[in-house]
Structure 1
Amino acid sequence: MKIATWNVNSLKIRLPHVLDWLAEHKPDALCLQELKMEDKAFPHEALAEAGYQAATNGQKTYNGVAILTPTAASDIVRDLPGFADEQKRIIAASVDGVRVICGYFPNGQAVGSEKFEYKLRWLAALTEWVREEMARHPKLVLTGDFNIAPEARDAHPEWTDEIHVSEPERAAFRALTDLGLVDAFRLFEQPERSFSWWDYRMLAFRRNFGLRIDHILVSEPLRAACRSCAVDKAPRRLERPSDHAPVVLDVDA
C-alpha cells in the first residue's frame, strides 16, 4: 500500500502536477493540503478520469484538505470533533483497512502570537481525538503538513526563526508520538538535510535551505510493515511548483 502526503499550495494551480504524479506513482491514498478551494469547486471530473475519487473538506481561498483514493473511502470525518473552528484542516477516512487522517496543521505565525496559541490549542485537541481514533482503528496513519520540524536535523542549520522549531511545537509533536505513533521517515536511513519544504525566496530550494515539516506517522501495528518512506523532490523542480514536496510511504498493510 502506498500512502502519500502533499501540500499543493493551491490545487487549482497545481492540478496538472497532481494528475501527472498520480499517473506515475499510483498511490492507494494521496493526502492533499492547502487546496484553497471550496468543495463545489473541487475537480472531481478530472480526477475521475485519472482513476481517483476524493473525500474533501474545502474552504475558499485558504486551507482545505482531501484524500484521493482509487476506490471510495469510507467512514469519513471532517474537522476535529468538539473543537469549534471555521478553518478546514482535517479529514479522515478508512482506506483498505487503514485509518488515514490528513491534516493541515496551523502555521502559528510567530511564537507568542494569538495564532501560535491557536496552534497549540488545535494540536492538543488533535492529540486527544487521535487517541480516540487509535482505540477504534489499530492500523492508523496520521499525515499532512504539520508545520513542525520535530528535531534539529529537520531544519537547516541556519534557520533562525523560532516558528516551526520552538520547544512548545516540538513538545506537541512528541505528544503525538507518545500516543504510540512512529515517524515513518525516521524508520529508514535518510540523507542529511532531508527537507520537504523550501521557501520560494532566496533560492532556497537550490540551496537546500528548508525544513522537514510534512510527516507520516504510523501506529505500532503498521511499524514493522513499513518498507520505505522518502521525500519526492521531483515535483518541486517543476515550473510553478508547490513550495512543498510529496512524502511517500510504502507499507504492507
Structure 2
Amino acid sequence: MRLATWNVNSIRTRVDRVLAFLEREDVDALAMQEIKCRPDQFPVEPFEAAGYRLAIHGLNQWNGVAIASRVGLDDVATSFPGQPGWAAKSEAEPVVEARALGATVGAASEARPVRLWSLYVPNGRELTHPHYT
C-alpha cells in the first residue's frame, strides 16, 4: 500500500495538482493538511471520479484536514483524546480546530489495514507562543 501526505495549502486551488500526483505516484491513500475549506466546499467529484473515497474535516478558510483513499476508508475520527483547543483571547472558550483526522485505510485491498492520521500541527510561531501549548 502506498501512503503519502501533503500540506496542500488550499485544495480548491490545487485539486488538479493533487489528482495528477495521485495518478503519477500510484498513491493508495493521501493525508492532506491545510485544505482551507469546509466539507461542503471540498472538490469531492474529481476525487470520486478517480476512484477515491474521502473523509474531510474543515472549518471555513483556516486549517482543515482530509484523507483520500482508494483502498477503503473506515472508522473516521475528527479528533483524538486530549486534543487541545485554542482561544485567541484568554477569556474565550477554547475551540478544537480542524487539525486532526484519522481513518483506517486498506481494508478493501490485499494489504493489511493501517490507521492513518492527517495532522496539521501549528507552525511559524515562536516556541513560547500560546498556540503551541
- Normalising by structure 1, report the TM-score: 0.44
Task: Tell me, in whole angstroms, the C-alpha distance in 2 between the residues paired with 1:107 and 1:21.
Answer: 25
Residue 94 in structure 1 maps to residue 104 in structure 2: yes
Letter of the structure 2 residue corresponding to residue 4 of structure 1: A
2:93 aligned residue: none
| Residue segments in structure 2 that go unaligned for 5+ positions in a row | 86-95, 107-112
Q: Quick one: distance in 2 between partners of 1:92 and 1:111?
A: 26
CA RMSD of aligned residues (A): 1.5
In the other structure, the counterpart of 1:42 is 42
Amino acid aligned to 1:11:
I
Relative to total residues, which structure has the larger helix share, 1 or 2?
Answer: 1
Q: Distance in 2 between matches of 1:109 and 1:3?
A: 29
Tell me the distance in 1 between the aligned counterparts of 2:23 and 2:49. Answer: 11
Q: Render the CA deviation track for 1:17-69: whole Å, top value 9, x for unaligned.
A: 01111121221111100000001111111111111111111121111111111
Per the alignment, in what secondary structure is the counterpart of residue 59 of structure 2? coil
- Counterpart of 2:9, as a letter, is N
Unaligned ranges ≥5, structure 1: 119-253
1:226-237 aligned at under 5 Å gives the runs none
Map of 1:4 onto structure 2? 4
Partners of 1:115 and 1:30 lie apart in 2 by 26
Q: What's the secondary structure of 1:65's corresponding residue?
A: strand
8 Å contact 1:54–1:72 — kept in the other structure?
no
Residue type matched to 1:26 in 2? D
Secondary structure of 1:64's counterpart equals strand
1:114 aligns with 2:130: yes
**CA distance in structure 2 between the partners assigned to 1:65 and 1:23 by the alignment:** 20
2:61 maps to amino acid: T
Moved over 6 A (4+): none
| One-letter code aligned to 2:97 | Q
**Aligned AA for 2:34?**
E
Larger Rg: 1
